[in-house]
Every structure is written in C-alpha cells, then in structure tokens.
Amino acid sequence: MPELPEVETVRRDLDGRLGGRRVAAVDWVDYRMVRGRIGAEALAVRLTGQTSRGVGRRGKFLVWRFQSGDRLILHLGMSGRIRAGVSPGETRAPHTHLVVTLDDGTELRLADPRRFGRVELVPKGSRQPLALGPEPLSRAFTARRLQMALSGRRAPVKGLLLDQRLLAGVGNIYADEALFQARIHPARSGGSLAPEEVGRLHRALRRVLRAGLRHRGTTFRSFQDGFGEPGGHAPHLNAYGRRGKPCPRCATALASAVVAGRTSHFCPTCQVIPARFETEGDKDRATL
C-alpha cells in the first residue's frame, strides 16, 4: 500500500496539473469505490463545474480541494494509480474507476485493480472523516509526542507505528526501515523503549520518510507516480524485503517475522529483543 512518501509524490504531481483547473465533466465514477453519504451520481453532478484550489494530503489520503469548500478525498488502496493530464484519446487502463475531464480537455484517471481504494466527496462545512494522528514530518510530531504515544503500551512498537490514529502515513516499509535505523526490534513493546531509544526512532522515522520522498517513492509491483512512472527508492532500502541478505551494518543475514499481523524485516544481531520484554497486549501478538 502506498505510504506517505508515495502519496506525497503523487500529490505534488497532481497539484501541478490541477491547480486552477475547472471540472468540465465527471465521465465515469464507479459506485463501488464511493464512500460517505454522497453517492456516485450525486458526486458527479456536484463536482462538475467546480474549480480546483489544489491537492493536499493527510496521511495516506489525497485531498482535492475546491473553491466552493468541497473536498474530494482519494485513497489509492493496495494497487491504485492516479494520473492527471491524460489525453482523452489515450486508451483507458483496465479497472479505471474514476475519470474527471478538466477544462483544458485533459483527464484525471483513477485505476484500482483490487478496488481497495476510496473516493469520498466531503461538502463544505462537513467534518473531514479522517481520524488520524500527527504528520511525522510536521513540527507537531516531536520525540516527546512519540514518547507519549508509546508510553505504557504493551503492543509491539511495529504495530503502534502502523496505527494511523497514533501516526499518520507510516506503513510497513518505512516502519521496518525506521526500526532498523534506530536498532529497535519490531516486537519490542512500545512502553519498553527508553527515552533515548524513542529519540533515535523519532529521528529515524523522519530520515527514512524524507529519503523515500527524495527518490519519489518505493515501487515493488504497482506503485506509480502522477506521471505513470515507478518510484526509485527500492534499491535504497536497508531492511524491508531483504530477508536472507546481509545486514548493511554487520553482515548478519536479515530475518523476517510476523509482528502485529504484518511481516517485519530486521537484523537479529543489530535489533535484539531482550527476553524480559513482553510482546503481547493490545490485541497484538508477535510471532518470532
């Protein structure tokens, strides 16, 4: 699933194409992708004629803002791809579920083979339906705030980093990378981390997310940026997806385990989990 660096890369690409453009028509919207109280037909009618104020992002969600105050929330799910500036003569990709024609004749298209994505129109004055924690690259996300989020928690730190209510935008890839950089085992309980370890994790999270942004996201199979190109960050990963390969620090073969229901990658030498640390709780279980 695209995480903060991938979604932010797409946001920047879309924002450059959509700012100031007017929606001429909504040619197609698949009702199965629509969430919220405004259905597919009403969404198409309400969106037509609106002028874009640009594209924002909240966690893993794109937020297309309009001068009316309405917002169109888009989530790419597991396999979604969204492009703007598409020529209407270009063959539509299979599983295209949203087509918006703009006043310059180009189209915005959303394709999602697995249909785990989401399209939701939030009218002006309505509360945005995204209950998310702080943005990890914002000033509001401090080491102290991370410490408060982890304090007293018996769940594995990996699962806590994936909880979007605690931290917005971090997923499996960048959680593994940050824990590797901070030398913290993913199955350590969140409350077991000392302040110095939380500080290392805070710095590592920001470093790995910024690196992902520099390389325009990570592509293994399906992620594409707003121009239809793959991200370039995969060769720069240190832990995620590298089971059996040598650790970049100590050359020990990297391992993987199911932690908080997700496959996690780590170095068994650099990221040791002391036996005294409890790894069960908060409905999470680490299988090592």
- Residues annotated catalytic, as ranges: 2-3, 60, 262
Q: How far apart are CA 184 and CA 162, in angstroms?
A: 15
Coil vs helix vs strand at 56: strand
Q: Which residues, in sequence order, are bridge partners of residue 109?
A: 83, 99
Residue 144, C-beta contacts closer than 8 angstroms, at least 6 positions apart = none
- Nearest alpha-carbon partner for 271 in 171, 204, 209: 204
**For residues 219 and 203, is the Cβ–Cβ distance under 8 A?**
no
Q: How far apart are CA 110 and CA 29, in angstroms?
A: 9
> Within a 10 A sphere around the Cβ of 165, how many other Cβ atoms?
10
Q: Which residue is associated with the tokens 């960048």?
A: 174
Q: How far is CA 16 from CA 19, 76, 83, 208, in A?
A: 6, 19, 12, 25
Which one-letter amino acid corresponds to residue 206? R
